[in-house]
Structure 1
């Protein structure tokens, strides 16, 4: 049975999808744009990575999960030359010495709302 998860601490979906869906012990968090609850988006890759991850964290917490429960992350970036900046922020949320999740990072031509970064995750309770 699937359960829809919604957090008031993350932006509302901009289309026909849920912030997250829980199935059994797994949680699937939709890609989070770097937008705050007021619809504002920071300008740099570092700031956008942080906002996207804060949105992910808020949704995880709403469902009773921690960042350490994340087993896979899906990262989209519009400029791979900014990858080191993304990694700098990402490593604060998923420290390399604390068993970080598997990850896919893909450079894309564009993202909704002109974002530079979008991050989704899959979490699993042990």
Structure 2
């Protein structure tokens, strides 16, 4: 069984959640301006999920950072979509940026540019 994202005790910030579907059409334009198109494949369009976390504590940030370091952009893991509860096999499309937002002894982090590509 693959690992599940997000790690336990982390709650996504809904303002960063979005879904983009791929365009699976192959198009070619003729000299007369007519566009020919056909599907690239028969499967459903793959989705790219965007999500993020804000105001993470030091322990939450360490759990998320460890998950990102372990999986990189190569390992497949399961993502639980917050809107439907659907379990989807994904991988990171890019390594997210982790931003420190704490003050003094209060350590807080924001990770708001997470992109997950469906496989």
TM-score category of the 2 structures, normalised to the smaller one = 0.3 to 0.5
User: Under a length normalisation based on structure 2, what TM-score does the superposition of the two structures give?
Assistant: 0.37
Richer in helix (by share): 1
User: Under a length normalisation based on structure 1, what TM-score does the superposition of the two structures give?
Assistant: 0.36
Richer in strand (by share): 2
Rg (Cα) greater in structure: 2
